[in-house]
């Protein structure tokens, strides 16, 4: 097939969300998966070498065209909008979920020392956190985890790209590092077949 690179480029540009490799393979069944991956790698390299206003990045498990961060100030002027902001409480709650997931509300509150109901509601509404199941303990509390949108917002390919313990120690006070302590995984976790990303605040 001719123009494979152009076709893949068009597919990614036309999508509002990162396009996963498997999706491209479904659209181009006559092209080998290895060839598609090689084409994607070449495209990313070409855009990096070009050093223009946009780049092709692997984010949230897929591929997406993005504007380069250094041009953010001009884009904000064009859109005339301010970036979404979160309270310190919401960001701290999000950090705990990101590093300790899967995690339940009571465990987050044990770390923060305060009620996190409002923060969780905000994060659910913004689709940065989702409900992934219930913990198999009395009361079956809801288990929370991060979403693909979380990866997109923070420009992460996957959760393995979260800052390491050493990197966070350079940015945080020692007392804040407890969010990285290994959680208790002794209780069985019940995962929903289709994770619910509803914004409704549920008990637990």
Strand partners, 66: 55
Q: In the chain, what is the greatest distance between 2 CA atoms, to the nearest angstrom?
A: 60
- Kindly report the pTM of this predicted structure: 0.67
Q: Which two tokens stand for residue 122?
A: 């905000």
Question: Long-range contacts for 199-203 (Cβ within 8 Å, ≥24 apart)?
Answer: 199/121, 199/124, 199/125, 199/127, 200/124, 201/117, 201/120, 201/121, 201/124, 202/131, 202/142, 203/142
Domains of the chain in start order, with CATH, are 4-79 (1.10.10.10), 88-196 (1.10.10.10)
Tell me, rounded to whole angstroms, the distance of Cα 43 from its chain centroid: 23
The predicted pLDDT at position 190 comes to 41
- Quick one: pLDDT at residue 168? 58
Residue 2 DSSP SS3: coil
Q: CA 204, CA 181: separation in Å to the nearest integer?
A: 22
Pairing outcome for strands 54-59 and 103-104: unpaired
Asked whether the predicted pLDDT for residue 15 surpasses 90, the reply is yes
What's residue 83's pLDDT? 61
Lowest mean pLDDT among 4-8, 18-22, 84-88: 84-88
Is the four-CA dihedral 203, 201, 193, 181 of positive or negative sign?
negative
- Express each pLDDT in 83-113 by its tens digit: 667 788 898 999 999 999 999 999 999 999 9
């Amino acid at each position: 097939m001719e123009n494979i690179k152009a076709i893949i480029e068009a597919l990614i540009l036309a999508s509002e969300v990162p396009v996963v490799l498997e999706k491209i393979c479904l659209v181009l069944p006559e092209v080998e998966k290895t060839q598609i991956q090689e084409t994607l790698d070449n495209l990313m390299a070409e855009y990096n070498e070009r050093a223009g206003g946009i780049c092709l990045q692997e984010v949230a498990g897929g591929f997406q065209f993005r504007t380069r961060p250094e041009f953010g100030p001009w884009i904000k002027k064009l859109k005339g909008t301010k970036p979404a902001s979160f309270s310190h409480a919401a960001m701290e709650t999000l950090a705990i979920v990101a590093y300790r997931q899967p995690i339940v509300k009571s465990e987050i509150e044990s770390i923060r020392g305060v009620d996190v109901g409002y923060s969780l509601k905000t994060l659910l509404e913004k689709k940065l956190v989702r409900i992934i199941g219930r913990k198999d303990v009395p009361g079956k509390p809801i288990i929370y985890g991060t979403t693909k949108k979380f990866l997109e917002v923070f420009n992460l390919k996957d959760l393995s790209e979260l800052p390491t313990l050493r990197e966070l120690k350079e940015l945080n006070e020692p007392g804040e590092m407890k969010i990285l302590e290994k959680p208790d995984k002794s209780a069985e976790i019940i995962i929903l077949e289709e994770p619910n990303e509803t914004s409704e605040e549920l008990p637990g």
